Structure 1
């Protein structure tokens, strides 16, 4: 089942994010932030839950864009599936759900941000129809 994350998912989200970024000691998931995102009409934390266990998550931003009238574009970040649940359809289910949400919002495009070293994830994204089309840049602010 795919649903929006709730404050009660704090520990599960933090554990997944630590798998995603194992060397980042700044990770701190706050219940109030989860609830703030839930109230925001343009931002979503989705989780995949099976048997009362959160197995994956992704963060979706609907970015307001003046270029195409009222149509936003979407950015997906923080995509992670518990390694024990990979190849079980969790990631596919999560991203298909997000794509449906983006279609409902009439997004012009969906961008996925992913670290260069996550080549297995990149192959997974390509299987779902995403194509590498640009070189992105990030600057982390401590």
Structure 2
């Protein structure tokens, strides 16, 4: 059966949520619904799903970002392929679709960040044409929630 790569819809949220947990993220299904809905309504984001028949094998989120120091770029902000479907071209096909989306939006650069602990991802990205640019530290600060 042929692999298809198409924009996600809200009907894909359960599969997207399940795949996301394979990366070690523990958002609730309700949070996944809220976030996917926001992305689906954004002109700067696109989420693609890879399917074979009714089975979702992976997803990719891409975003048009504006950097004050370097202008517009497309950035892959999330990519996951099911544990049992890796190394058969699903990730490559998702990245190729994101690349086409970026070109359709007039962008000339596609970037991706990968956690230093995900060594298999680093090899994957290099194998499909990405070049290592830099290693960085990420810092995070919790902010108080606004009272409702």
TM-score of the aligned structures, taking structure 1 as reference length: 0.85
Q: How many residues align?
A: 137
Q: How large is the Cα RMSD of the aligned pairs? A: 1.9
- Following TM superposition, by how much is the alpha carbon of 1:103 offset from its aligned partner in structure 2, in angstroms? 1.4
- Following TM superposition, by how much is the alpha carbon of 1:48 offset from its aligned partner in structure 2, in angstroms? 0.6
Which protein shows a greater Rg?
2
CA distance in 1, matches of 2:50, 2:123: 20
CA distance in 2, matches of 1:43, 1:17: 17
CA distance in 2, matches of 1:109, 1:2: 21
Contact 1:45/1:57 (<8 A) preserved: yes
CA distance in 1, matches of 2:96, 2:115: 21
Contact 1:17/1:78 (<8 A) preserved: no
CA distance in 2, matches of 1:141, 1:73: 25
Q: Which digits, 9 at most, give the CA deviation of each residue in 1:68-126, with x for residues without a partner?
A: 7xx72011122110011112211111001111111121213211121111111111111
Mind listing any 5+ residue stretches in structure 1 that lack a counterpart?
none
